[in-house]
Structure 1
Amino acid sequence: MLDMEEFLVLRDLFNQGLSISEIARKTCHSRVTVRKYIHSQIPPTPEKRSKRPGKLDDYKEYIDQRLQEYPLTAARIYREIQEQGFEGKYTIVKDYVREVRPKVGVPAVYRFETKPGVQAQVDWAECGYIDIDGSHRKLYCFTMVLGYSRMRYAEFTLRIDVHTLIECHLHAFHYFGGYPQEILYDNMKQIVLKRAPKSSDSDWNSKFADFFTHYGFVPRLCRPYRPQTKGKIENTVGFVKRDFFMGGKFSSFSDLNSQLQGWLSRVNSTVHGTTYEIPRDRFEEESLHLQHIDQALPYHNVREETRKVSRDAYVSYLGNRYSVPYRFAGRTCVLQISDTSFSVVVDSEKVCTHEILPGRGRVSRKKDHFEGLLSEILKQNSTQGARASCVLKFDDPDVEHRSLAVYDSFVEGEKR
């Protein structure tokens, strides 16, 4: 097909009086083509080519639906459609997600970078609810990110008390093999009870103060209502939700955390969007500057709760019953609870230890807790029986003792 310029050239030559054969020789077009266009009153219009089906076309409806349900990342979408058979490149998916995702403007901030081993950032976020052991419970996500390498750690929890917070820190320290000089936090009550203008002068939670004093790192508090102060962890929390949690399928709470560990291995081995380097590669340098976890004494993180031992020698914890030596029935005790077990303490004496049972309505009974109880009950019953079989004795009535002369005097009086 001729373009507009060629069409006008043919018409101009024809208007100059040239024959069709002469125009064909000058323009190298066939006489049929020349004859067609010099007699046409309508300029040529390019025919629209039929659009070839793209590799992403079959997946666009699925992508649109997923983005309407959750603000997922392009990387997450790419993994999902790969499982459905998509064979295209990631850039196609990224460009399409950028095109269809709603545009949201954000205020500019100044990015603060830290040196290796200097700082980590921590956050705890709510992630909705979970049905577990027949109850509807809140779900939380603990996250920690190292400031220099962007190496991430995360785990889901069912509690947000200070003991769980410390336990999550210990898990993160072992995951990294160490801990930095300082850690940046929100103003959460598990960390600080009353914030001072200078964070080091704040009134710290006593249990958490014992923890950071033990390991020697410095807690820092971000400015209130300034989430960008710890933007690295804020981005990590959102990334965990969008790239892992939202729309995921999990069979149990343990499966949720198990899949999360696999996700961490993948994202820590993928190029980071800010540094354009792989976190695990940068971590090789940062790990040399961390305080090694093995250099500090182990920290015993124990949560305590008060219970009363029942008359049948059991205590209750999380809907399950656990036996206690029978001699402590009716006594008040303290449960010292760790991650997977707890100890029962009565008057500073540790009387027994139990592994925490999953589920509800279950019983953990140890036979040695009841040894001697039956014989003691039988002994008590026999003693009570002996007391009940005693012979009842009656006291003799008081009788006045008189001499026979008194009675003789009564007889003589009657004869008269």
Structure 2
Amino acid sequence: MYMEIHQLKKQGFKVRRIARKLRVSRTTVYKYLEKSPEEMSLWMASTKSRKKKLDPYEMIIHTWLTEHPDMSAAQIHDWLLEKYKDLKVGESTVRGYVKELREKYSIPKEEEKRIYQAVPELPMGQQAQVDFGQTNQKKSDGTSVKLNFITFVLSHSRYKYVEWLDRPFTTKDAIRCHENAFRYFGGIPNELVYDQDSLLIVSENSGDLILTAEFQSYREERKLNFTICRKADPESKGKIENVVGYIKGNFAKNRVFDHIDTWNEQTLAWLDRTGNKKVHNTTKKRPVEVFSLEKQHLRPIIKKITISNINSSITRTVRKDNTIVYLSNRYSVPLGTYKKGKSVFIEATDEGYLLIRDEKDGPTIAEHKISHQKGKLIQDTQHTRDRTKGIPAYITSIAEKFKNQELAHSYLKEIHRRYPRYIRDQLQLIGKEIKSDPELIDEVLEMCINKGIYSATEFSDIVQYVKRQSQVDKDAPIVESNIVQLTDADKLTISTKPHTRNLDSYLEVLEGVSK
């Protein structure tokens, strides 16, 4: 290291370039450059003779390694801390020390290795492997977006298909992408291999697969043969695992996201240009050339399936606060939708919107942009207004809460004239004040009319003002007054003046003079 640093420095390399080239810090480079060869020799000799922090524990570590050759340095670090409570040592120190002991006493680390064998190439049209993936992409404005994709690969030719979404996949999305992939391939393979994905599979049930109802219906209609990979056994679908990594590392890496449609167009162009055209590292053939032969062995698509005909609606229970839960977020429905046991039908669109319907094929009662965050309340302001009544009926229902209904009706009509676009919000606010303080509303109504105040927010302010004033009057101390007319004797007592003594008498006493 010392020689390399000095040689690079003589060749004109700067410290930053030397550090980057040798993968060391600039501090290390400066330290080595400052030392002369003689100083370096002395320093290296001192490092060989100095004691190490773990030298007192050499025998116990040697015993552990001898008895358990497969022990890791991290486990030895844990055992040391457990046995010696006062020992303060970093894991990296233990790792270096264990490495030296293994070399010193020739104790190689034993590792349990899995035995692999090459899998024979499958016949043409026999199998396709399917998997999902996810990436984080930068946008042009500097923010990032999480993208999800599904990819298919024909096991014989390695011919690929990819489709992306800027939101989580639903079962309906997965079915649609299957149809797009089959059209891209020009046929259906005899077998499809999947990972254990909850979009498709509910339970393995000891080998008897239980699929989601929606995907089971699609499987029966397409007459698809499935194979599900065993848990923690990625080797059984190694081809698709390689494709997922290839998509992330070759297509998506460092690419700037603009729009999901543009992104999918770029993906198809990449498949034609690179993904399916470059020579495959294992087969040493171009997937597109092998696919031209394999395509003839795929099962033809006889019947076209329209995805919208598949029962893809999902039900959600309406909560008491007139919201439903979807992907860990709450979405509002119109006020008054909630009833005990009430359910609505929801559907996620390709454009990233959540549609909510009262009936499966009924009109949409709410539409929200799907949020990719968690724990958020997505609420439409229109859903906070009571739309079960028309405006005239709404005004009448509020006016009926006042004693002078005619005066209240004219007051509310004037508010409607001044705030036609926000009349429901105005009436809702006044209705809220009526529920909270029904005793004060008539007094507040008269004050507002006398002062020319025609606004629900100011009406609410007057209510709070009157409430505070009534509280002040209530808390004020009560002084009882008991006035009695004076009699002649009282007047005589008041007019009586007491006898006053001359001050000289007091002065004589203070001076010690007595008469």
1:62-107, Cα deviation, whole Å (9 max, x unpaired): xx99xxxxxxxxxxxxxxxxxxxxxxxxxxxxxxxxxxxxxxx997
2:119 match: 111
Q: Which whole-Å CA distance do the structure 1 matches of 2:268 and 2:155 have between them?
A: 20
Q: Which whole-Å CA distance do the structure 2 matches of 1:364 and 1:264 have between them?
A: 45
- Note if contact 1:304-1:337 (Cα within 8 Å) is conserved in structure 2: no
Q: 1:120 aligns with which of 122, 128, 131?
A: 128
- Note if contact 2:140-2:256 (Cα within 8 Å) is conserved in structure 1: no
Instruction: Classify the secondary structure of the residue corresponding to 1:217.
Output: coil
Counterpart residue type for residue 346 of structure 2 = L
2:96 match: none
- Note if contact 1:130-1:138 (Cα within 8 Å) is conserved in structure 2: no
1:351, distance to aligned residue in structure 2 (A): 2.4
Q: Which whole-Å CA distance do the structure 1 matches of 2:141 and 2:354 have between them?
A: 19
Does 1:278 find its partner at 2:295?
Answer: no
Aligned ranges for residues 365-404 of structure 1 at < 5 Å?
373-374=390-391, 376-377=393-394, 388=405
Aligned ranges for residues 39-188 of structure 1 at < 5 Å?
108-128=116-136, 138-157=146-165, 158-188=167-197
2:265 match: 258
1:220, distance to aligned residue in structure 2 (A): 0.3
Does 1:204 find its partner at 2:215?
Answer: no
1:6 match: none
Counterpart residue type for residue 184 of structure 1 = V
- Note if contact 1:343-1:350 (Cα within 8 Å) is conserved in structure 2: no
Kindly indicate whether structure 1 or structure 2 has the higher relative contact order, using CA contacts under 8 Å at least 6 residues apart: 1
1:304 match: 314
Q: 1:243 aligns with which of 250, 257, 267?
A: 250
Q: Are the structure 2 counterparts of residues 364 and 387 from structure 1 closer, same or farther at C-alpha, using a change threshold of 3 Å?
A: closer
Q: Are the structure 2 counterparts of residues 140 and 345 from structure 1 closer, same or farther at C-alpha, using a change threshold of 3 Å?
A: closer
Q: Which whole-Å CA distance do the structure 2 matches of 1:145 and 1:301 have between them?
A: 28
Paired positions, count: 282
1:126, distance to aligned residue in structure 2 (A): 3.7
- Note if contact 1:323-1:364 (Cα within 8 Å) is conserved in structure 2: no
Counterpart residue type for residue 184 of structure 2 = Y
Q: Which whole-Å CA distance do the structure 2 matches of 1:387 and 1:348 have between them?
A: 47
Q: Which whole-Å CA distance do the structure 2 matches of 1:179 and 1:159 have between them?
A: 25
Counterpart residue type for residue 394 of structure 2 = I
1:99 match: none
1:152, distance to aligned residue in structure 2 (A): 0.4
Q: Are the structure 2 counterparts of residues 210 and 364 from structure 1 closer, same or farther at C-alpha, using a change threshold of 3 Å?
A: farther
Counterpart residue type for residue 391 of structure 2 = L
Q: Are the structure 2 counterparts of residues 305 and 203 from structure 1 closer, same or farther at C-alpha, using a change threshold of 3 Å?
A: closer
Does 1:225 find its partner at 2:232?
Answer: yes
1:29-54, Cα deviation, whole Å (9 max, x unpaired): xxxxxxxxxxxxxxxxxxxxxxxxxx
1:381, distance to aligned residue in structure 2 (A): 6.3
1:52 match: none
Q: Which whole-Å CA distance do the structure 2 matches of 1:291 and 1:364 have between them?
A: 52
Instruction: Classify the secondary structure of the residue corresponding to 2:152.
Output: strand
Q: 1:352 aligns with which of 364, 382, 385?
A: 364
Which moves more between the two structures, 211-220 or 292-301?
A: 292-301
Q: Which whole-Å CA distance do the structure 2 matches of 1:133 and 1:314 have between them?
A: 33
- Note if contact 1:144-1:153 (Cα within 8 Å) is conserved in structure 2: yes
What percentage of residue pairs aligned between the two structures are identical? 24
1:255, distance to aligned residue in structure 2 (A): 4.3
Q: Are the structure 2 counterparts of residues 309 and 202 from structure 1 closer, same or farther at C-alpha, using a change threshold of 3 Å?
A: closer
1:314, distance to aligned residue in structure 2 (A): 9.8
Counterpart residue type for residue 316 of structure 2 = T
Counterpart residue type for residue 178 of structure 1 = G
Which moves more between the two structures, 337-346 or 140-149?
A: 337-346
Instruction: Classify the secondary structure of the residue corresponding to 1:143.
Output: strand
Q: Are the structure 2 counterparts of residues 210 and 136 from structure 1 closer, same or farther at C-alpha, using a change threshold of 3 Å?
A: farther
1:363, distance to aligned residue in structure 2 (A): 6.3
- Note if contact 1:132-1:253 (Cα within 8 Å) is conserved in structure 2: no
Q: Which whole-Å CA distance do the structure 2 matches of 1:330 and 1:262 have between them?
A: 49
1:134, distance to aligned residue in structure 2 (A): 11
Q: Which whole-Å CA distance do the structure 2 matches of 1:309 and 1:226 have between them?
A: 41
Counterpart residue type for residue 123 of structure 1 = D
1:365-391, Cα deviation, whole Å (9 max, x unpaired): 8xxxx89843553575688899946xx
1:44 match: none
Q: Which whole-Å CA distance do the structure 1 matches of 2:150 and 2:140 have between them?
A: 19
Q: Which whole-Å CA distance do the structure 2 matches of 1:310 and 1:206 have between them?
A: 29
Counterpart residue type for residue 352 of structure 1 = T
Q: Which whole-Å CA distance do the structure 2 matches of 1:223 and 1:349 have between them?
A: 39
Instruction: Classify the secondary structure of the residue corresponding to 1:148.
Output: coil
- Note if contact 1:182-1:219 (Cα within 8 Å) is conserved in structure 2: yes
Does 1:213 find its partner at 2:220?
Answer: yes
1:121, distance to aligned residue in structure 2 (A): 0.2
- Note if contact 1:120-1:144 (Cα within 8 Å) is conserved in structure 2: yes
Q: Which whole-Å CA distance do the structure 2 matches of 1:161 and 1:349 have between them?
A: 19
Q: Which whole-Å CA distance do the structure 1 matches of 2:293 and 2:141 have between them?
A: 44
1:300-352, Cα deviation, whole Å (9 max, x unpaired): 262525264999x998989998986x9x6556432233424655332556123
Instruction: Classify the secondary structure of the residue corresponding to 1:208.
Output: helix
Q: Which whole-Å CA distance do the structure 2 matches of 1:364 and 1:116 have between them?
A: 57
Higher strand share: 1
Which moves more between the two structures, 221-230 or 252-261?
A: 252-261
- Note if contact 2:139-2:257 (Cα within 8 Å) is conserved in structure 1: no
TM-score when normalising by structure 2: 0.44
- Note if contact 1:152-1:264 (Cα within 8 Å) is conserved in structure 2: yes
Q: Are the structure 2 counterparts of residues 165 and 186 from structure 1 closer, same or farther at C-alpha, using a change threshold of 3 Å?
A: same
Q: Which whole-Å CA distance do the structure 2 matches of 1:252 and 1:258 have between them?
A: 10
Higher helix share: 2
Q: Which whole-Å CA distance do the structure 2 matches of 1:137 and 1:301 have between them?
A: 30
1:239, distance to aligned residue in structure 2 (A): 1.2
CA RMSD of aligned residues (A): 4.7
- Note if contact 2:148-2:164 (Cα within 8 Å) is conserved in structure 1: yes
Q: Are the structure 2 counterparts of residues 178 and 339 from structure 1 closer, same or farther at C-alpha, using a change threshold of 3 Å?
A: farther
Q: Are the structure 2 counterparts of residues 269 and 355 from structure 1 closer, same or farther at C-alpha, using a change threshold of 3 Å?
A: farther
- Note if contact 1:322-1:364 (Cα within 8 Å) is conserved in structure 2: no
